[in-house]
A and B are shown apart, each in its own frame.
Chain A
Amino acid sequence: MDTIVITGATSGIGLASALELARNNFNIIGIGRDPKRCESAKDTIQSSRTSARVTFFAADLMQQREVNRVCDEISKYIEQNCEGKLFSLINNAGCARSWYMTTEEGYEQLFALNHLAGFLVTYRLLPYLISASGRVIMTGSESHKHMRIRWDDVMFQNGYHPLLAYKQSKLCNLLFAKALNDRYGWRGLHAYAVDPGLVHTEIGCKNTGGIVSFVWNNRKRHGVSPDVPAKTYAYLCAQQPAPKGLYFHLCKPRRYSAQVEWKNAERLFRLSETLCGIRYDERMSGI
């Protein structure tokens, strides 16, 4: 059975996708921030009468130190239990923020979690993904449209704007998927972004205040259950051969912003490499 890593797998879209994929006979490696919630998510998945192997690792992916630690543990696990092959990585963990807050590195938290964490996890697990001709899936959003990257102030130090910061991070997800395809498509890697649509989850209510939580509480009532986007993740993982396209909604390719083109993708890729202190090329030279 093939193995899939899902970040942010303890609730919302991540948990629903993990359940769906376990039903499709994939082994699940979940990552969540809170060890207790990881335990209960693991129980939830296992009690859904699946023969899949379910493992959880706890890490606060916002902090790069934590990403590196948990990736060390997961790499060891994949080498021991999965013959060094990872079929799929779902970069799903994300947050919304009402205020500018920073990580240990002094990076803005929403940018650090929604984009940089996925960038660094992918880097760390890339050799296993390549050897399985695997797939990388980001949780994108329609909100990536009508937005440009603020190249002179990607972390909103000039004045924080919760909605624009979120929109930019989702545009980053699409640009990253595009860059992965451009760079490693020829090695058999496929990268996608999923538009989950408006989903009834708690992302906008976790420790946000004022307008953000008010707006989110109103919006989420109209949202669909997370089981709906979970089907799209399962489709992108299970389909053989790999579906063509970059951005998917309800198992179908969807149009995306004209900002998603190779120049921006490459520029973001290089900036992210600098911010994480890594070089993808060096990682690839050994494989």
Chain B
Amino acid sequence: MNVLITGASGGLGRAFAAECGRRGYNLFLVDINAQGLAALKSGLERRFSVCVATMTCDLTGEASVDALLAHIDRCRIRFDMLLNVAGVDYEGGFLERKRDDIVRIVSLNNEATLRITHAVLSRRDERRRFSLVFVSSLASLYPMPLKATYAASKRFLLDLAVALGHELRDKNVRVLALCPGGMVTTRQAMQGIAAQGFWGAVTTNPLETVAKRTIEGVLHGKHVYIPGFFNRTLSFIGTLLPRSWVAAAIYRRWGKAQKQWLAKETAHGETAA
């Protein structure tokens, strides 16, 4: 089994890589962070003695992706699985963010994902089953004020995954959209979730379990995976209500949370200074 993972050196990418390594899959890891890739490669090789190849690549750049594909073609690699993990979000409301940042959300989360997915799918071995995973988000299920662009970009991936799943079923391709809630991927995420207290703890999905069940899910032909009972219930209730009601409720809750968070941040800043 040959697996390509984009955004491999981030928190979720590393969890996926470790899960694949444990299953004995060969890995091709892509990320923009060269140092992180090198460390992850050595870690996986030491632990699982699997074959690991890496390549630094900015997926938003046409030339950079062409170089990646040329390298794949030179090595004559055929993939059996693609995990689209690479993605980005920036903090702040729509008008508080820089224009370039807003656009970058779509160019990485959507444009770059399409580019690599099309390229890798057309390089698959058609006689074998192919597994395709898009990392969407719980945010994809509703319109989300204060995270509008991000949520919309994740909605794009969710719809794409479900549609492609049906379109490519005869071609022996299984597609899964992963819609996780908060995950503890970085020190900042950990601080954020710890600060949220009880609600942070119940909506947080354990990284190792998400990685394991996602791989199991796509191998068993599952279409959408929302980890966690609480999140599944929440998303089900959300589908029963009008979308604009949900958006308004989210805005109230997040607006408050953000104010508290900002107040805390500034207080911390003052004590540190």
A and B: interacting chains: yes
Binding site for B on A (CB under 8 A): 63-65, 98-107, 155-160, 207-211, 213, 274-277
CB distance from A39 to the nearest CB of B (A): 13
A207-B194 in contact given A99-B207, A156-B208 (Cβ < 8 Å): yes
Per the bound structure, the CA–CA distance linking A160 and B207 in Å amounts to 9
Q: Is A106's CB under 8 angstroms from B208's CB?
A: no
The 7 closest A-B pairs by CB, nearest first: A105-B43, A210-B201, A104-B39, A209-B194, A99-B184, A100-B208, A106-B43
Interchain Cβ contacts under 8 Å between A and B, 16 examples: A63-B39, A64-B39, A65-B35, A99-B207, A102-B11, A102-B14, A102-B15, A104-B9, A104-B36, A104-B39, A159-B208, A207-B191, A210-B200, A211-B201, A213-B194, A275-B43
Which of B44, B185, B197 meets A106, CB within 8 Å?
B44
B244 CB within 8 Å of chain A:
no
Cβ–Cβ < 8 Å partners of B40 in chain A: 104-106
B208 A160 Cβ-Cβ under 8 A: yes
Once A100-B206, A157-B19 are accepted as A-B contacts, the answer to whether A65 and B39 lie under 8 Å apart by CB is yes
Q: List residues of B (43-101) whose CB comes within 8 Å of A's CBs.
A: 43-44, 46-47
Closest A-chain residue to B200, C-beta based?
A209
The answer to whether the Cβ of B176 comes within 8 Å of any Cβ in the partner chain is no
Question: Is B248 in contact with chain A by the CB < 8 A criterion?
Answer: no
Q: Are B35 and A275 in contact (CB under 8 A)?
A: no
Mask for B6-34, Cβ within 8 A of A = 1, else 0? 00010100110111011000000000000
Q: Which residue of chain A lies nearest to B18 when distances are taken between CB atoms in the complex? A: A106
- Point out which of B35, B187, B190 has the most chain A C-beta atoms below 10 A from its C-beta: B190
Distance to closest chain A CB from B261 (angstroms): 15
The reply to whether A104 and B43 contact each other, CB–CB distance below 8 Å, is yes
Give the distance to chain A from B243, nearest Cβ to Cβ, in Å. 31
Give the shortest distance, in Å, between A105 (CB) and chain B (any CB). Answer: 3
Q: Which residues of B contact A208 (CB under 8 A)?
A: 194
Contact at B14–A106, with CB atoms within 8 Å?
yes
Instruction: Report which residue of B9, B43, B187, B193 has the largest number of chain A beta carbons within 10 angstroms of its beta carbon.
Output: B43
Give every chain B residue within 8 A of A99 (Cβ-Cβ): 184, 190, 204, 206-207
Among B21, B44, B191, B201, chain A packs the most CB atoms within 10 A around the CB of B201
Residues from chain A with a CB closer than 8 A to the CB of B18 are 102, 106, 155, 157
Which A residues are in CB contact (< 8 Å) with B39?
Answer: 63-65, 103-105
Looking across the interface, which residue of chain B has its beta carbon closest to that of A277? Answer: B46
Which residues of A have CB within 8 Å of B204? 99, 209
* Alpha-carbon distance A158/B35, docked complex (angstroms): 27
Note all chain A residues with C-beta closer than 8 A to B193.
209
B208 & A277 in contact (Cβ 8 Å cutoff): no
Rounded to whole angstroms, the CA-CA distance of A64 and B47 in the bound complex is 15
Besides the known contacts A101-B207, A105-B39, 9 further A-B residue pairs in the complex with CB atoms under 8 A apart? A99-B184, A99-B204, A102-B207, A104-B40, A105-B44, A106-B47, A156-B208, A157-B19, A209-B200
A275 contacts B190, C-beta separation under 8 Å: no
Main secondary structure of the interface of A (DSSP, over half): loop
Contact of A107 with B11 at beta-carbon distance under 8 Å, contacts A101-B184, A157-B208, A159-B208 already known: no
Q: In the complex, how many angstroms separate the beta carbon of B29 from the nearest chain A beta carbon?
A: 10
A160 to B183, CA, bound (A): 14
Partner of A209, one of B15, B17, B187, B201: B201
Kindly state whether residue B172 has any CB partner on chain A within 8 Å: no
Cα-based distance from A157 to B43 in the complex (angstroms): 15
> With a CB–CB cut-off of 8 A, which chain B residues contact A275?
43, 46-47
What is the bound-complex CA distance between A106 and B48, given in angstroms?
Answer: 12
A109 to chain B, nearest CB (A): 10
Nearest chain B CB to A10 CB, angstrom units: 15
Known contacts A99-B207, A156-B208; A106/B17 CB under 8 A: yes
Contact residues in A for B47 (Cβ distance below 8 Å): 106-107, 274-275
A247 to B225 Cα, complex, angstroms: 48
Instruction: Enumerate chain B residues within 8 angstroms of A100, measured Cβ to Cβ.
Output: 15, 184, 206-208
Report if B122 contacts A (CB, 8 A): no
Say how far B13's CB is from chain A's closest CB, in angstroms: 9
Chain B residue nearest to A63 (CB atoms) is: B39
Query: What is the CA–CA distance of A101 and B184 in the complex, to the nearest angstrom?
Result: 7
Q: Does residue B258 face the partner (Cβ distance < 8 Å to A)? A: no
CB-based contact B187/A207 at 8 Å: yes
Residues of A within 8 A of B14 (CB): 102, 104, 106
| Residues from chain A with Cβ under 8 Å of B185 in the complex | 101
What is the chain A residue whose CB lies nearest that of B205?
A99
A207 touching B190 by the CB < 8 A rule? Answer: yes
Task: Confirm or deny: B209 has a beta carbon within 8 angstroms of a beta carbon on chain A.
Answer: yes
B42 CB within 8 Å of chain A: yes
B171-203 residues with Cβ-Cβ distance < 8 A to A are 184-185, 187, 190-191, 193-194, 196-198, 200-201
**8 Å CB contact of B206 from A64, A107, A159:** A159
Task: Give min CB distance, A174 to chain B, whole Å.
Answer: 23
Residue among B15, B185, B194 with most chain A CB within 10 A: B194
* A211→B201 CA distance, assembly (Å): 9
- Shortest Cβ distance from A67 into chain B, in angstroms? 12
